[in-house]
Amino acid sequence: MSRTVYVNGEYVPEAEAKVSVFDRAFLMADGVYEVTSVLGGRLIDFDGHAARLERSLGELGMGMPMSRDELLTIHRELVVRNDLTDGMIYLQVTRGAPGDRDFAFPPEGTPQTVVLFTQSKPGLADSPLAKQGIRVISIPDVRWGRRDIKTVQLLYPSMGKMMAKKAGADDAWMVEDGAVTEGTSNNAYIVKDGTIVTRNLGTEILHGITRAAVLRFAREAQMKVEERAFTIDEAKAADEAFITSASMFVMPVVEIDGDAVGSGAPGPVATRLREIYLEESRKVAV
């Protein structure tokens, strides 16, 4: 079935969804994006994603193309038009298409490009991977210095996923100055003696919306949380490891660079946090 895609104010069949070759995102990766998951036809953590979009745009000197309410309306309209039950909505906002290639930003008033499309993933929350856990490799983090801005510069994360695949693993954790920053498209955690450890916020990592919710639920459940850098050796010696993202929720990590983490099976903390996150997020989904 052909999807209905939103492009610059219009809902069009996917084959007709097009943007200019002069678009700043195509030529300069000058755009930001968000991925919001949909469970049971409702949006998970929408407010967080909208707030981060506004922040990303602001850090790059761009404003919101429309109000948060209008964005929500488009998200919901796409869910309905595409009969989406479980999956994701991808949103991208770029600095627009000024009609030529130039390093300088286009003139004030150049219309931004706004694209949203759905990705159907039936049974997204019941992924068998969550019972099995994933395997990661470590790779150097050679991305730019503003990883807190969710830009479409995803070449290195994409290469990282391919390096993982080649090594027979599922994903990669990136390491800088001896410490883990994050996964290629997710935040990274370890659990040692009941304490959850994850990289502190800064420009080195994306401020995950799932991360914020999971840490809040963990603290509410009286679990101990430390936001600080950790090494791959520390992760290998941990009792558990896991990742979080809008599309994976909480996903256990059972192997790092070929070494089993803990028992080599998903641990109780990651398993419990996944349950709590899914349960609580569904309750307030819009």
Residues of this chain that bind ligand PDD (CB under 6 A): 35, 182, 185-187, 206, 208-211, 244-247
Q: Shortest Cβ distance from residue 215 to ligand PDD (Å)?
A: 11
Largest CA-CA distance found in the chain, in angstroms, rounded = 57
Q: Shortest Cβ distance from residue 98 to ligand PDD (Å)?
A: 26
Q: How far apart are CA 174 and CA 226, in angstroms?
A: 19
Specify the residue, 30 or 171, whose C-beta has the smaller distance to ligand PDD. 171
Specify the residue, 85 or 247, whose C-beta has the smaller distance to ligand PDD. 247
Specify the residue, 113 or 244, whose C-beta has the smaller distance to ligand PDD. 244
Q: Shortest Cβ distance from residue 263 to ligand PDD (Å)?
A: 26
- The catalytic residue positions are 150
Q: Shortest Cβ distance from residue 237 to ligand PDD (Å)?
A: 24
Strand partners, 137: 172
Q: Shortest Cβ distance from residue 5 to ligand PDD (Å)?
A: 17
Specify the residue, 169 or 172, whose C-beta has the smaller distance to ligand PDD. 172
Q: Shortest Cβ distance from residue 14 to ligand PDD (Å)?
A: 19
Specify the residue, 92 or 187, whose C-beta has the smaller distance to ligand PDD. 187
**3-state DSSP of the chain:** CCCEEEECCEEEEHHHCCCCCCCHHHHHCCEEEEEEEEECCEECCHHHHHHHHHHHHHHCCCCCCCCHHHHHHHHHHHHHHCCCCCEEEEEEEECCCCCCCCCCCCCCCCCCEEEEEEEECCCHHHCCHHHHCEEEEEEECCCCCCCCCCECCCHHHHHHHHHHHHCCCCEEEEEECCEEEEECCEEEEEEECCEEEECCCCCCCCCCHHHHHHHHHHHHCCCEEEECCCCHHHHHCCCEEEEEECCCEEEEEEEECCEECCCCCCCHHHHHHHHHHHHHHHHCCC
> Which of 13, 53, 19, 56 is CA-nearest to residue 36?
53
Specify the residue, 82 or 210, whose C-beta has the smaller distance to ligand PDD. 210
